[in-house]
Amino acid sequence: MPDRWSAVVALADASRRALYEYVRRQDRPVSREEAGDAAGMSRGLAAFHLEKLVDAGLLRSAVQAGAGRRRVRGRAPKVYQADDEGLAITIPERRYELVAEILADAVAAEPTDAGEAARRLAAGRGRELGARLRGSGGVTDALTGLGFEPETADDGVVALRNCPFHALAARQTELVCGLNLAYVEGLLQGLEVTGLKPRLAPRPGYCCVELSP
């Protein structure tokens, strides 16, 4: 999946965005010449912008030879396709796909008690991520990377100014806040953090979970 902020910067250029939209709409690899013609720019300029889109993770490139394809200085042409994952940007950060994956797996695993299965899966996903992040930063760094926007008060309580599951939590508060709590608990277990305990503490403008010393 492309890095979102690199992708935003790449698409800020109108010419680059036009190339990306053209390539994304095609159901086949697109050459530099074709993309340039579609966007009304030279092959060289198109190549420059296409490579920037590849660097940002928005496009994939490959060298493709074949009968009837025009070669450039004896080399097979380079072609481009859009990344299958696509791109979604939300500010503040949201992670609805994570909840969707957990719920889908829970229904498949235990359709008669999907809620409890989802909480176990959420805790497991949190532990897996925490284990991967262990040693690369503290709990605040991990929570920041997940979009929770942690804020530590003088008494050591860590409030989370953003809920990555905001819209879902507003509609299904008990279910989604329970998954959120299980996920953060698992994250701390994976990080091997013992000095903080997550708990449900809903209040306006904050995530339903906070961490207490």
Tell me what the mean pLDDT of segment 171-186 comes to. 94
**pTM of the predicted model, to two decimals?**
0.64
**Does residue 143 share a domain with residue 39?**
no
> Could you give the CA distance from residue 16 to residue 51 in angstroms, rounded to a whole number?
10
Mapped onto helix, strand or coil, the DSSP state of residue 24 is: helix
Split at pLDDT 50, 70, 90, the class of 41 is very high
- 198 three-class SS: strand
Q: Indicate whether 179 and 117 sit together in one domain.
A: yes
Could you tell me if 60 and 143 lie in one domain? no
Confidence class of residue 76 from pLDDT cuts 50, 70 and 90? low
Mean pLDDT confidence for 9-14: 78
The predicted pLDDT at position 119 comes to 95
Quote the pLDDT of residue 14: 84
Q: Which residue has the tokens 């999907």?
A: 114
Shared-domain flag, residues 104 and 202: yes
- Going by pLDDT thresholds of 50, 70 and 90, the confidence category of residue 65 is low
Q: Which one of 47, 82, 117 terminates a domain?
A: 82
Residues 127, 28 share a domain: no
pLDDT of 72 higher than 60? no
Query: Do 121 and 62 share a domain, yes or no?
Result: no
Mean pLDDT lowest among 23-32, 43-52, 57-66, 165-174:
57-66
- Where residue 147 falls (left for φ over 0; alpha for ψ -120 to 50; beta otherwise) is left
Cβ neighbours around 180 below 10 Å, total? 25
Taking residue 6's Cβ as centre, other Cβ atoms within 10 Å add up to: 14
pLDDT confidence of residue 13: 82
Q: Are residues 67 and 133 in the same domain?
A: no
Residue 71, number of CB atoms within 10 A of its CB: 9
Is residue 185 located within the same domain as residue 119? yes
Same domain, 75 and 118: no
Residues 139-153: pLDDT tens digits? Answer: 999 999 888 999 999
Q: For residue 168, tell me if it sits in a domain.
A: yes
Query: Residue range 83-91: average pLDDT?
Result: 63
pLDDT at 5: 62
CA–CA gap between residue 22 and residue 35 (Å, rounded): 7
- What does the mean pLDDT of the chain come to? 86
Domain range holding 22? 4-82
CA 89 centroid distance within chain: 9
Query: Residue 176 — very low, low, confident or very high, per pLDDT cuts 50/70/90?
Result: very high
